[in-house]
Structure 1
Amino acid sequence: MSIISLIIKREFIAKVRNKSFVVMTFLSPLLFVAIAVFIGYLSSMKAETKRIAIHDETGIFAADFLKENKKGTEFRYLNLSEIDLKALKDSITKENFSGLIVIPKTKHSKDLESKIEFISNNSPSISFVENTQDIIASKITKLNLEEAELDTLAIKKAQSNVNIHLIKASGEESRKGLNEIKIGIGGAFGYLIMMFIIIYGNMVMRSVIEEKTNRIIEIIISSVKPFQLMIGKIVGTSLAGILQFVIWAIIGLGLMFAASVFFGVNVGSGSTLPPVLMQSMGHNFSEMMQIGLSEAWNLPIASILIGFIIYFIGGYFLYSSFYAAIGAAVDNQTDSQQFLLPIIMPLILSVYIGFFTVVNDPHGSVAVIFSMIPLTSPIVMLMRLPFGVPWWQIVISVSLLFATFFLVVWFAAKIYRVGILMYGKKPTWKELYKWLKY
């Protein structure tokens, strides 16, 4: 067995046998599911009903607010227009009511747009303010139309509700909300690969620093070349990460199967949902789960998973080379902070580009360019994959990623070779540059 194979085996076994690795491998998926279920349970809990007093001097708005009580909202409106306004304000101070809507009397309904007040001890939620504004605005609009002697019923009948059917050029029908699912999947995989790179890259760096601090490295490199040791550490830790991901994928598929049983989701390629269910998706959590899981299953899951593994390996190899070089250059993790920022910044930039550019235009110039740049492609390209990416772009992106990896390994090996036996001195960027020339 070659020396590199022995190092890979040693690093792999050391990581896999670690108790924290075993615990997090099997506990993390269950923890995420538990958190999701807990959040769903909290969101399903009925909030405490808040009493909102209404002081309507016009006498024309209170009835519209009272209709909201029938819709089962968390707010209960009370028409207290006959009570003195000062007494109502005192009631707010004493917290007898959660808030008070004051609608003054004006000569023209147009004047009400800027004179309505909401009095409360605490700041109201955005949804409450928007809902209140919508109720009042709808009523004022209706009053304005009546003052202009326009037939409001005819206008209402003339209003159109357009429902555009989304169909691909291939003739396949697409669903509304599918892009949101793609964004969620792409964002989740992009974020995962960023966390994997940071976590396992730090593992490589800590391993190098530990062996260097304990002077074990002096014994190891007596029979192993520094380049072989660096590659062995990177590949061994990478295999441990891939194993962890495969276990997570198996557990995830098992949970998806369980969800298909409990929620009655047909996860076959031709799974469809009735239109009535689509219309009522916002009102029932289990129906939303059915739609989300069904549509997610219809995505190119195999290509996304394969892409994740390829970009995970390429991105991890690339960044781990930097981490290994930093670990060899410093004596402790505190000294490594000055070198980590330039490494982490491209990862952060990738996430921002993904969520602010790929989401809006996955096939735009910015998204395409940054999905080709090796330092950002592992995250940006992963976020593009659910939207469909031409094969030639993937080939170019992967080729540039692995070519850059070999180039970086060549430079990092020089730093690793010199820094692995350097002790007691905090290196600078200038010294690292000199080590590249050795």
Structure 2
Amino acid sequence: MNNLPLIIKREFISRVRNKTFIIMTFLSPLILIGMIGVISWLTTLNNDEIREIALVDETGKFIQDFKNTENVRYLDYSKLSLNDAKDSVVIKKLYGLLYIPLKSTNAELSKAIQFYAEDSPNLSVINPIEDLIATKLTNQNFEKEGFDLTTIENSRAKVNIQIENFTGEKTSKMSNYVKMFFGGAAGYLLFMFIIIYGNMVMRSVIEEKSNRIIEIIISSVKPMQLMMGKILGTSFAGMLQFLIWVILGGVLLLITSSLFEVSPSPVASGAAIDAVQSNSNEIGLLLQDILRLPLIFLVCLFFVYFVGGYFLYSSIYAAIGAAVDSETDSQQFMLPVLIPLMLGIYVGFFSVIENPHGTVSTIFSMIPLTSPVVMLMRIPFGVPWYEIVISVLILFGSVIFMTWFAGRIYRVGILMYGKKASYKEIWKWLKY
């Protein structure tokens, strides 16, 4: 009698009815949004700190150019000597001291300016100071050479390149970041799903084995059926959870699009376009880029690669669970399982984003242990259909082999007690 459907149903129901599963299914998106909000708030809170910087300007030419901002306040210490100014800054615990010495030429001055601080100053503070002084010195050099600064300023050209593909569709300058975000999110989500649900399969096997329930189950069910039932039941629960997230995300995306009134109209051109209109157009183009992404195709392939990647890794997790008596004993086998997944994440974020069609990205999107993560990151950038087909075929071919391989370990390991499994011992099981 084929008991596989009963095992799948049991595993699926036990997962779906679990309170943790129900709570996390609906709370996870809110927790994610909340984390993003908290991080943004903390970043804003950190940037709200007012940094007080003392100025010792021996030239007397720069002090009037340093204007206070929301986060930086400049204090004129030019009447003090450098040593007295340093002592005062230390006592009052100011952010730092900018020292502009008196030099005979601008060339000498540009190399003699110093910033004193207890800790290394933030680039967001140093860069504006450097730009301000460099602009001032440049203008002084122009005046010395007899150039008219007004004419030079009026002659500066402001370029705003409009990006458009060969079919006439305008895109945002942030288009690649949008693709990077969606591809990275899909790859990372799959990475987390494989680890979470793979561990569920392993824990389930270890629990039944340690409670000796497995001996009763094996009397009426073949080991291969039991392993496949656990894998399938847990995978269906994972796909249900992801489907709920997709529906919630789609609703939120449609609401956002309607609020910003995204329309396919081209961006107006001309010198009369002001900054507000430009920003509004950029937001519109950005939302258009999101809607142009192959989101449905990406979701469909997510399910395909989730099934393939999950079966591949879950069969390994099931074999590990059968080979050990406790979760502590499983740690020696976990590193070889996690390394390919972590490698896929690193390749995705450092190679795919830099060159999605490069040799490294293409090869790792074909290797079955990394392809579920890497290929999902490549898809938003456009991948030829034949590469996807080859990748999927290799993945599912590897799934068949790994399921057979893990099944041979599983059928022996689930009845082994009291002995720590080693790689050498597991190799012997394959020959039984």
Q: Provide the TM-score with structure 1 as the length reference.
A: 0.90
Report SS of the residue matched to 2:59. coil
Residue of structure 1 in register with 2:12 after alignment: 12
Rate the CA distance shift 1:122–1:18 in 2: closer, same or farther, 3 A: same
* Residues 166-211 of structure 1 deviation map (CA, whole Å, 9 limit, x = unaligned): 2323333322110011101111111110011011100000000001
Q: Are residues 1:199 and 2:193 paired?
A: no
Segments of 5+ residues of structure 2 without an aligned counterpart are none
Residue of structure 1 in register with 2:180 after alignment: 183
Rate the CA distance shift 1:289–1:434 in 2: closer, same or farther, 3 A: farther
5 Å-filtered alignment, 1:28-67, equals 28-43=28-43, 47-66=48-67
Q: Say if 2:55 and 2:76, in contact at 8 Å, map to a contact too.
A: yes
Q: Say if 2:201 and 2:231, in contact at 8 Å, map to a contact too.
A: yes
Residue of structure 1 in register with 2:316 after alignment: 322
Rate the CA distance shift 1:172–1:292 in 2: closer, same or farther, 3 A: closer
* Equivalent position to 1:95, from 83, 88, 92: 92
Instruction: Give distance in 2, aligned partners of 1:18 and 1:282.
Output: 50
> In the TM superposition, what is the alpha-carbon distance from 1:365 to its structure 2 partner?
1.6
Residue of structure 1 in register with 2:224 after alignment: 227
Q: Residue type of the partner of 1:23?
A: I
Instruction: Give distance in 2, aligned partners of 1:361 and 1:138.
Output: 36
Q: Residue type of the partner of 1:387?
A: F
Report SS of the residue matched to 2:181. helix
Rate the CA distance shift 1:159–1:403 in 2: closer, same or farther, 3 A: same
* Residues 69-105 of structure 1 deviation map (CA, whole Å, 9 limit, x = unaligned): 3xx4411223332233333222211226332211111
Residue of structure 2 in register with 1:390 after alignment: 384
Rate the CA distance shift 1:73–1:107 in 2: closer, same or farther, 3 A: same
> In the TM superposition, what is the alpha-carbon distance from 1:64 to its structure 2 partner?
2.3
Instruction: Give distance in 2, aligned partners of 1:97 and 1:288.
Output: 40
Q: Say if 1:415 and 1:435, in contact at 8 Å, map to a contact too.
A: yes
5 Å-filtered alignment, 1:218-367, equals 218-260=215-257, 264-266=259-261, 270=264, 292-367=286-361
Q: Say if 1:325 and 1:415, in contact at 8 Å, map to a contact too.
A: yes
Q: Say if 2:202 and 2:317, in contact at 8 Å, map to a contact too.
A: yes
> In the TM superposition, what is the alpha-carbon distance from 1:153 to its structure 2 partner?
5.3
Rate the CA distance shift 1:243–1:400 in 2: closer, same or farther, 3 A: same
Instruction: Give distance in 1, aligned partners of 2:397 and 2:231.
Output: 16
* Residues 342-393 of structure 1 deviation map (CA, whole Å, 9 limit, x = unaligned): 1111111111111111101111121111111111110110001111111111
Instruction: Give distance in 2, aligned partners of 1:84 and 1:282.
Output: 48
Report SS of the residue matched to 1:55. strand
Q: Say if 1:318 and 1:404, in contact at 8 Å, map to a contact too.
A: yes
Residue of structure 2 in register with 1:166 after alignment: 163
Q: Say if 1:314 and 1:401, in contact at 8 Å, map to a contact too.
A: yes
Q: Percent identity?
A: 52
RMSD between superposed Cα atoms in Å:
2.7
Instruction: Give distance in 1, aligned partners of 2:284 and 2:40.
Output: 15
Report SS of the residue matched to 1:52. strand
Instruction: Give distance in 2, aligned partners of 1:324 and 1:280.
Output: 57
Q: Say if 1:166 and 1:173, in contact at 8 Å, map to a contact too.
A: yes
* Residues 116-145 of structure 1 deviation map (CA, whole Å, 9 limit, x = unaligned): 222233432121112222222222333344
Rate the CA distance shift 1:267–1:425 in 2: closer, same or farther, 3 A: farther
Instruction: Give distance in 1, aligned partners of 2:285 and 2:43.
Output: 19
Q: Say if 2:54 and 2:89, in contact at 8 Å, map to a contact too.
A: no
Q: Residue type of the partner of 1:191?
A: Y
Instruction: Give distance in 1, aligned partners of 2:389 and 2:274.
Output: 38
* Equivalent position to 2:430, from 417, 429, 436: 436
Rate the CA distance shift 1:329–1:271 in 2: closer, same or farther, 3 A: farther
Instruction: Give distance in 2, aligned partners of 1:132 and 1:113.
Output: 12
Report SS of the residue matched to 1:94. helix
Q: Provide the TM-score with structure 2 as the length reference.
A: 0.91
Instruction: Give distance in 2, aligned partners of 1:17 and 1:399.
Output: 34
Q: Say if 1:92 and 1:121, in contact at 8 Å, map to a contact too.
A: no
Rate the CA distance shift 1:282–1:117 in 2: closer, same or farther, 3 A: farther
Rate the CA distance shift 1:212–1:104 in 2: closer, same or farther, 3 A: same
Q: Residue type of the partner of 1:80?
A: Y
Q: Residue type of the partner of 1:17?
A: R
Report SS of the residue matched to 2:389. helix
Q: Residue type of the partner of 2:10?
A: R
Q: Say if 1:272 and 1:294, in contact at 8 Å, map to a contact too.
A: no
Q: Say if 2:170 and 2:266, in contact at 8 Å, map to a contact too.
A: no
Rate the CA distance shift 1:116–1:145 in 2: closer, same or farther, 3 A: same
Rate the CA distance shift 1:2–1:312 in 2: closer, same or farther, 3 A: same
> In the TM superposition, what is the alpha-carbon distance from 1:160 to its structure 2 partner?
4.3
Number of equivalenced pairs: 429
* Residues 201-222 of structure 1 deviation map (CA, whole Å, 9 limit, x = unaligned): 0000000000110111111111
> In the TM superposition, what is the alpha-carbon distance from 1:278 to its structure 2 partner?
10
Rate the CA distance shift 1:426–1:288 in 2: closer, same or farther, 3 A: farther
Q: Are residues 1:369 and 2:363 paired?
A: yes
Report SS of the residue matched to 2:36. helix
Q: Residue type of the partner of 1:10?
A: R
Report SS of the residue matched to 2:182. helix
* Equivalent position to 1:78, from 75, 78, 83: 75
Q: Say if 2:172 and 2:282, in contact at 8 Å, map to a contact too.
A: no
Instruction: Give distance in 2, aligned partners of 1:271 and 1:43.
Output: 35
Instruction: Give distance in 2, aligned partners of 1:290 and 1:201.
Output: 41
Instruction: Give distance in 2, aligned partners of 1:278 and 1:390.
Output: 40
Report SS of the residue matched to 1:22. helix
Q: Residue type of the partner of 1:22?
A: I
Greater mean deviation of Cα atoms: 47-56 or 190-199: 47-56
